[in-house]
Amino acid sequence: MAERFHATTSRSSDSLRNHFLLAMPSLSEGIFCHSITYICEHGESGAMGIVINQPLELSVAEIFDHLQIDSLRDFTDEPVLAGGPVQIDHGFVLHRGSTAQWEASLTVTDEITLTTSRDILRAIAHGNGPQEHLIALGYAGWSAGQLEQELASNAWLTLPADSDIIFRTPAENRLAAAAAQLGIDMNLISAEAGHA
């Protein structure tokens, strides 16, 4: 786990913070293929988010074993997500409904927090952590202006995030559930998007 996460981006009115990015079919390779990303920070110096629908062949139980954290329940059925291609050896916990303070956290909204410190993993393992959480390795990052360029080239659809899709919808259904809020079936969208 990264012990410190520094949010250096400033907030602006056109920020996509607390929005979903839905990958268009033109993003046909790698981690972003058929992905939904939750944007945690977006400002003048760039953006960062967590891909929330790409499970790894790794369970939370295996992470706890690797970090030598004893758990009070079985986490073998809880997958770890591929959160993005940046810092893939660092853990990121996206969670909601927790009033506890953690060593390194970024408050995304009044409801959702991103934590990168190991103390939250110990709390989850011991039953004291947030019940609604996702654990990911890595994050998605964009330099200044990069996300805006990708949006202009029709790489992503955007919509305000729905925390129930993040925390209560199975990973494999999150993209379709978010697209349905836009009235879209992602399977029917052509990879040949154009500009009007």
Query: Could you tell me the residue ranges of all domains in the chain?
Result: 19-186
- Say which range, 70-84, 114-128, 178-192, has the weakest mean pLDDT: 178-192
pLDDT at 193 over 90: no
**Residues 12-32: tens digit of each pLDDT:** 457 999 999 999 988 888 889
Which class would CATH give 19-186?
alpha beta
Distance separating alpha carbons of residues 80 and 134, to the nearest angstrom? 8
Q: What is the token pair recorded at 153?
A: 């080239």
Give the pLDDT confidence score for residue 192 in this predicted structure: 55
pLDDT at 11 over 70: no
pLDDT at 143 over 50: yes
Q: What's the pTM?
A: 0.88
Beta strands in 128-168 (DSSP E): 132-143, 156-160
Token pair 């970090």 is found at 67
181-to-9, 89, 123, 135, 160 alpha-carbon distances in Å: 28, 33, 34, 25, 10
Confidence of residue 195 (pLDDT cuts 50, 70, 90): very low
